Amino acid sequence: MDVLGVDACGKQGWAGIRLTDGVYAGSLVDVRLDALIERAGGVRVIAVDMPLGLVEKGWRAADLAARALLQVRRGSVFLIAPRPAWQEPDYAAAADRCQELTGQRLSRQAWALAPKLLEARACWLADERIHEVHPEVSFRALAGGVPPAHAKKTWRGQNLRRCLLAEAGLVLPDELGEADRVPVDDVLDAAAAAWSAHRIALGISGRVPEVPELDAAERVVEIRY
């Protein structure tokens, strides 16, 4: 059973980690998500670290629930604006629209996600194999419900995350192939997404919130892990 975990990786586009029966089976990197997914072939589940489902008003319950779970790592979860804000042409208009719909302005960090968020959302709407994940939520699950004590860009944080994956049977080799040129934290995030994809395929994954909201396209707005 093949699955794919995907993380956005800056100008390089998207990094994917493929698993076969829960074991590392290779990496893919592509500037376009749809191209990466096409190259992955007939995988059963694709888990993407990017907000996909959008609500019409208010903050997403998935983000609020994920923040509550992550405690010390809560800042890794951006509050994602309602769908109409992402249709605005620039940050100022999007922030104003977000203020109107949530009572708070959209952060510049969240707005920076716009190109990849919209790209990933288009893929999600077209392919029911795709699910939203958040690596820090996955790593919390890997650690038995304890949020990572160290940030993912630190030495201790990266070693902790690689060890958690290895303990779960997902051993990342020293040479990854295409993903060798991708920053370490992006590789680890893609691997955590792949671990979650495997759990989704097995039907044993968790989700937040417990009762998901619905996107305007009638798909659920949730984070799987």
84-106 pLDDT, tens digit per residue, is 999 999 999 999 999 999 999 99
Per the CB < 8 A criterion, the answer to whether 37 and 123 are in contact is yes
- Give the integer Cα–Cα distance in Å for 200 and 182: 25
Give the start-end residues of each E strand in the chain: 2-8, 14-20, 23-30, 45-49, 130-132, 207-214, 220-224
Considering the domain delimited by 2-53+126-207, tell me its CATH architecture.
2-Layer Sandwich (3.30)
List the domain boundaries for the chain: 2-53+126-207, 80-106
43-91 pLDDT, tens digit per residue, is 999 999 999 999 999 999 999 999 999 999 999 999 999 999 999 999 9
